[in-house]
Amino acid sequence: MYVWVSACLGLVDLIVVCGNIFVLYLLASQPSLRSSTNSLVLSLTLSDLLLGLLILPFSIMQEHHGEWLYGEGFCRVWLSLDVFLSTASIYNLLAISVDRYMAVRQPIRYPIISSKKFVRQMIAAVWLAALVLSLSLLLVERKKDEGDRSCSPLQFPDPFILASASASFLLPAVLMIVLNLLIFQRVHTSRRSKSFYLKKGKKSGDSMRIHRGRANSHSESLTKANSRSDSMTQLDRKPSISRKKSIDSTKTITSDKTQRADSNGEMMSLIWGRGLAPSLRTELRVARTTSVVVAAFVICWFPFMTIYLLQAYSMCPFGGCVPQWLFTFTFWLGYANSALNPILYAAFSRDFRAAFRRVILHPHRPR
């Protein structure tokens, strides 16, 4: 049983390491990926890679043997390093959301706001905040039952667990969700305003054409009235009048259908970006990518943080609190987020997909 569990956990660790190494190679070798946002992606990739190299192998060994084999001192260092790298990964995701919000909120000033100096300061703040949180763990005494030979974050006092979970997950998660909602709201507002001005321009153009058409028809009717002959009969004028009514009714029906199609397609165009201006399509594409990454983060980490707090305060709704297998599963589900990040960027980011194709299909082509 332990062999199969260890093999599955080892596969997750392999994906974390290989996926993030490949993203690092793309960021280092492809000039098209060198941007301020991708500097934050680089920081995220480094934190995920270090997590796969320094933390996950020892966690696998503990799950395989059923106990911690490396002593009390290294257990404290390992737990502190785990908090440091996991929090850095989460804070890097928050920094990417902040950067994307600024890009959508201030598209004109964004190149000035998001300078290299500002991005470096944001990356430094991410790692410094994660370091402070991890060092505080070394100052807290662990509570261990007699004969307990495990190394677990549950062995810290309950107030510290609540503070650590709030600082490393709850607050960043709430901020990321709010920022991504604001991003979509901004894109939706931009789409509606541009659509409004476009329709307004079309209506004013139509009214000008109608005005000109009425003036021309009026002058033509005066000319015809002056030059028409007595031989013209009422029967000759009826076909022209009926044709005019037919044309006007056709125009009205076509206009109504166009308006209905515009209203029905407005939401689909917002979701998929069809029919939008290039700047809006870019904003929407970036918003979708960031939202998918944030959604994956919440899905991966929320079960563990919930069980983490319930287990610490013994507030489980069933006997025996949380089973060990469930705690292990949710614990590694959080780790699996570090494996998903490279896959999600490769799947949803157009720039990363293009760089991936260049590296795989044309490795020797000049960049």
When pLDDT is cut at 50, 70 and 90, the band that residue 141 belongs to is confident
When pLDDT is cut at 50, 70 and 90, the band that residue 138 belongs to is confident
Task: Give residue 239's pLDDT.
Answer: 46
Q: What is the pLDDT of residues 166-204, one digit of tens each?
A: 999 999 999 999 998 888 888 777 766 655 445 555 444
CA gap 363, 367 in Å, rounded = 9
Task: Give residue 267's pLDDT.
Answer: 45
Task: Give residue 349's pLDDT.
Answer: 79
Nearest to 83 by CA among 145, 13, 138: 138
Task: Give residue 207's pLDDT.
Answer: 41
Question: Which tokens in the block code for residue 206?
Answer: 């139509």
pLDDT of 18 higher than 70: yes
Residue 135: φ, ψ to 5°: -70, -30
Task: Give residue 44's pLDDT.
Answer: 93
pLDDT of 65 higher than 60: yes
Amino acid at 336: A
When pLDDT is cut at 50, 70 and 90, the band that residue 155 belongs to is confident
Nearest to 131 by CA among 12, 31, 37, 47: 47
Task: Give residue 220's pLDDT.
Answer: 46
pLDDT of 233 higher than 50: no
Residue 148: φ, ψ to 5°: -80, 120
CA distances to 15, 137, 205, 251 from 170, rounded to whole Å, are 26, 18, 53, 57
Q: What is the pLDDT of residues 28-63, one digit of tens each?
A: 988 888 888 789 999 999 999 999 999 999 999 998
CA distances to 172, 211, 219, 236, 319 from 240, rounded to whole Å, are 71, 21, 17, 8, 88
User: What is the average pLDDT score of the chain?
Assistant: 76
CA gap 15, 184 in Å, rounded = 31
CA 34 centroid distance within chain: 19
Mean pLDDT of the region 215-240? 43
Task: Give residue 323's pLDDT.
Answer: 78
Task: Give residue 90's pLDDT.
Answer: 93
CA gap 270, 277 in Å, rounded = 11
CA 122 centroid distance within chain: 19
Q: What is the pLDDT of residues 294-323, one digit of tens each?
A: 899 999 999 998 888 877 666 655 445 677
Task: Give residue 217's pLDDT.
Answer: 44
Q: Angle CA(99)–CA(105)–CA(107) in degrees, nearest 5?
A: 85
Q: What is the pTM of this model?
A: 0.74
Task: Give residue 75's pLDDT.
Answer: 92
Asked if residue 143 lies in contact with residue 156, where contact means CB atoms within 8 angstroms, the answer is: yes
DSSP SS3 for 26: helix
Amino acid at 348: F
pLDDT of 325 higher than 70: yes
Mean pLDDT of the region 338-344? 88
Domains and CATH numbers, the chain: 2-196+324-361 (1.20.1070.10)
DSSP for residue 67:
S
Question: Which tokens in the block code for residue 81?
Answer: 């390093």
Task: Give residue 342's pLDDT.
Answer: 85
Candidate from 88-92, 199-203, 355-359 with smallest mean pLDDT: 199-203
Task: Give residue 109's pLDDT.
Answer: 81
Task: Give residue 270's pLDDT.
Answer: 44
Candidate from 103-107, 136-140, 197-201, 257-261 with smallest mean pLDDT: 257-261
Reported as half-sphere exposure (CB side, CA atoms, 13 A), residue 66 has a value of 4
- Among all chains, which residue has been given the structure tokens 């904003």? 283
Task: Give residue 95's pLDDT.
Answer: 93
Candidate from 10-24, 82-96, 246-260, 347-361 with smallest mean pLDDT: 246-260
Nearest to 335 by CA among 1, 96, 17: 17
